[in-house]
Amino acid sequence: MNGFDYQQIDDVIHSRLRLAIMSALITAEQMEFITLRNLIKATDGNLSANLKKLEETGYISVKKEFINRKPVSSYSLTQQGKDAFAVYIENLERLIKK
């Protein structure tokens, strides 16, 4: 069995809530805040904080618009986010399959 530095696992993605966000967005072109919240079953505050972290890291982008005069935020993965997710999955599988 070879060594595996656990720090190879991307900590930004690995948090359970952020992993749930990334997993949801990888299959969807884009997703509104409320859809994401209902899907993942997170609180508004917790979801917001983790979306912000992903946005700051450059993994997701947000589009804000008004629909029927209500503000709607939609999220999608950036190319950097898609690449990081692929690397994350690869490392996770290497770690678990050992």
Contact residues toward its own copies (CB under 8 A) are 1, 3-7, 9, 11, 14, 16-17, 19-20, 23-24, 27-28, 38-42, 89, 92, 95-96, 98
Handedness of CA 82, 87, 90, 91 (dihedral sign): negative
Residue closer to its own copies (CB basis): 1 or 67: 1
Token pair 């999955």: residue: 89
CA dihedral angle for residue 93, residue 95, residue 97, residue 98, rounded to 10 degrees: 160
Residue closer to its own copies (CB basis): 69 or 74: 74
Residue closer to its own copies (CB basis): 9 or 62: 9
